[in-house]
Amino acid sequence: MIERYVYGNPIETEAILTKPQKQDGESNLITHTFVKNTYKDMYGNDKVEEKEGFKYTLSENDIVYGLGQQIRGINKRGWKYKNYNSDQPLQIESQESLYGAHNFVLVSGKKHIGFFFDYPTAITFDIGYTDMDEMYIYPDDFNLEMYVITGESDISVVKEFRALIGKSYIPPKWAFGYAQSRWGYRTSDDVREVARKHRENHIPLDAINLDLDYLDNYKDFTTNPEKFPDFKELVQEMKDMHIHLVPIIDAGVKEEEGYDIFEEGKEKGYFVKDKDGKDFRLGVWPGYCRFPDMLNEEAGAWFADKYKFLTDMGIDGFWNDMNEPAIFYSDKGIKKMYEDIDSYKDISLDATTFFELKSKVNSVSNSDDDYKAFYHNYKGSNIRHDKVHNLFGYNMTKAAALGFKRNVPNKNILLYSRSSYVGMHRYSGIWQGDNNSWWSHILQNVKMSANLNMVGFLYNGADLGGFGANVTEDLLIRWLSFGLFMPLMRNHSAFDCRGQEVYRYKNMDMMASLIRLRYRLIPYIYEKFVSSVNNDDMLVAPLGFLYPDDEIARHTEDEVVFGYDFIIAPVYEQNAPGRNVYLPEDVTMIRFRNAEIVEKTEYKKGTYFVFMPLGDVCIFVRKGHAVKLCECTEWVTD
């Protein structure tokens, strides 16, 4: 059952495809309330803050699933989360915002109730943080639509919600192959070397991602004439090797006289404006830039048509980045920062003034003042950006997807984005953002994947090995052992980190066998993916979804069920020879080594320590279910 409630004058987001009729009055399942919160400020003074929001009283054993791309557990209880799309590369537990805004929560206990808040700006979910037994939801203002979804099970609630928001994006089959990426492939020859070393060492590879390095001075829809002078030939050369090049596209257009996209966007008025109607000036990778008005349908279509520069050269995959949108600085913000810093230059900095000075620099990026300083022409209205902030990346990516249908109508293009809102899942996938080479981020990959499935982002994956920091060989092996089950299997790292290409390591053959196992599973994974899309099912689900009466299963956060067929229990601790695995039913454990099945063992329901040496992959297949392996003669998916 679905109920829809409307408060104030909501901004249309297009997250919901077909809206149920609006309900009169208030829901009897969640309370619309005003809450007073008393706290002390930094000087010890009592402050009282009153917020308008919603309150739901949690039972002791209630689990709260949801929020898609957010930190912490599969169960979101015990923390507060702010859904306001943010460039947050550390992804540590103390953060409240990440790259996406997925305002769906599912309370699972004696009742199964989902709440979706269709609201395009900042909204806070205080889930047992202020009060362990209360869930509070605070939007920044009260112009929103709320959907209340009840069902007989967690799975039924998710299926109802997924039916509301529409079918998920299905990428081309080659996009389920292995992808190698690095911010730091600086020349055409670097790319050739990556391709050659994978092929020489018999490491399967379907895609090489190109980060900012391929661009001419960070300008969108250009190629560097010195470092990539033969870009079109390079694309064809890779295609001849059955490798797809997947370039990055950023949201900011460089301010440069004579740069055709900048000149055209300025002439046609397609960039976002400040309050005086002038183009809003900001800085990101290229220096001073403009943002195309991605929420303006005409401007979005104009920007999307620029991808044709690359599709005409044979490119058939893209990743959209920096589209929260991330702002390094604004014109006004950087000038004020320099003025503020100047006032400190002649004083002796004590503890207070030193940290004040640091804050002047740190606060210049992604500032609230900047997000309130420019406007969109959205559906015929002039709307301040912060009111629709979470829709920017969604509309950039939606426009690109629609542009591909216009300009490359007979081809399925790979597309995934860093920033997102519910509804964008119909047009693309996402990756899980700039993580780190930390053992804890393997576990975060597990938890985030399950919650992303609830909001329709089935095509997702984390940067295997970690984007930032320095990977260790055992960490990369363990991460590949889990990542080979995720739809997006991409190894990605930053330019200032240790290289993560598997051919660099002593255990290259072991890692190559893990990737070959992925290729033996691709037909099965693809079939399960398409079935999950068509049936609004979970591809990756928490154990509690399938075993709702098993309290241990409900509170197990480091195992997930794939395709409703088998349990994955990855090793995510350094030097661990294996791990404890909880099995909620009798299963068959299948052990893979060197891409072959080397063991099948029957296990009864219970907890077991399972030895998993580096390179071994163990899955636990449910009774009556099966996993299909193909016999691969060539390690490509075209």
Q: Is 80 exceeded by the pLDDT of residue 358?
A: yes
Contacts with 281 (C-beta within 8 Å, 6 or more apart), sequence order: 255, 288, 289, 290, 330, 331
- The Cα 213–Cα 217 span in angstroms is 9
- The Cα 614–Cα 442 span in angstroms is 15
- The Cα 404–Cα 407 span in angstroms is 5
How far is the CA of 621 from the CAs of 168, 468, 591, 603, in angstroms? 26, 34, 11, 10
Task: Report the DSSP beta bridge partners of residue 620.
Answer: 567, 589
For residue 366, the model assigns a pLDDT of: 94
| Weakest mean pLDDT among 150-159, 349-358, 387-396, 599-608 | 349-358
> For 569, left (φ over 0), alpha (ψ -120 to 50), or beta?
beta
Structure tokens given for 253:
């257009």
For residue 438, the model assigns a pLDDT of: 98
pLDDT, average across residues 348-352: 90
- Amino acid (1-letter code) at residue 619: I
Q: At what angle do helices 231-240 and 188-200 cross, to 10 degrees?
A: 10
| Weakest mean pLDDT among 89-103, 150-164, 231-245, 270-284 | 89-103
Structure tokens given for 372:
């309130």
- The Cα 420–Cα 99 span in angstroms is 7
The residue among 206, 180, 209 whose CA lies nearest residue 634 is 206
Q: Is 80 exceeded by the pLDDT of residue 88?
A: yes
- Cis, bond preceding 325 (omega within 30 deg of 0): yes
For residue 634, the model assigns a pLDDT of: 64
For residue 638, the model assigns a pLDDT of: 60
Q: Is 70 exceeded by the pLDDT of residue 500?
A: yes
More confident call, 616 vs 48: 616
Structure tokens given for 225:
């004439």
- The Cα 137–Cα 83 span in angstroms is 11
For residue 45, the model assigns a pLDDT of: 83
Q: Are strands 100-101 and 123-127 parallel, antiparallel or unpaired?
A: unpaired
How far is the CA of 134 from the CAs of 54, 55, 125, 146, in angstroms? 10, 7, 11, 18
The per-residue pLDDT of the chain, averaged, comes to 96
Specify whether the CB–CB gap between 167 and 425 falls below 8 A. Answer: no
- The Cα 322–Cα 305 span in angstroms is 19
What is the DSSP code (8-state) at residue 246? E
Q: Is 70 exceeded by the pLDDT of residue 635?
A: no
| Weakest mean pLDDT among 37-46, 380-389, 498-507 | 37-46
* DSSP line for 424-487: GGGT-EEE--S-BS-HHHHHHHHHHHHHHHHTT--SEE-EET-SBS---HHHHHHHHHHHTTSS
Q: Which residue has the tokens 């399942």?
A: 29
Quote the pTM value.
0.96
How far is the CA of 330 from the CAs of 64, 143, 289, 327, 354, in angstroms? 38, 28, 9, 7, 24
What is the DSSP code (8-state) at residue 177? S
Helix (H, G, I), strand (E, B) or coil at 50: strand
Cα 313 versus chain centre, distance: 28
Q: Which residue has the tokens 């409630």?
A: 5
Beta strands, E only, 190-341? 207-210, 244-250, 253-254, 282-284, 287-290, 317-321, 329-330
Cα 542 versus chain centre, distance: 18
Q: Is 70 exceeded by the pLDDT of residue 1?
A: yes
Structure tokens given for 623:
């009774």
For residue 232, the model assigns a pLDDT of: 98
CB neighbours (10 Å) of residue 202? 13
Model pLDDT for residues 446-464, shown as the tens digit of each residue: 999 999 999 999 999 999 9
For residue 636, the model assigns a pLDDT of: 63
Model pLDDT for residues 19-54, shown as the tens digit of each residue: 999 999 999 999 999 987 777 776 778 888 888 999
Q: Which residue has the tokens 């052990």?
A: 591
The residue among 321, 324, 269, 263 whose CA lies nearest residue 298 is 269
For residue 38, the model assigns a pLDDT of: 74
- Amino acid (1-letter code) at residue 466: G
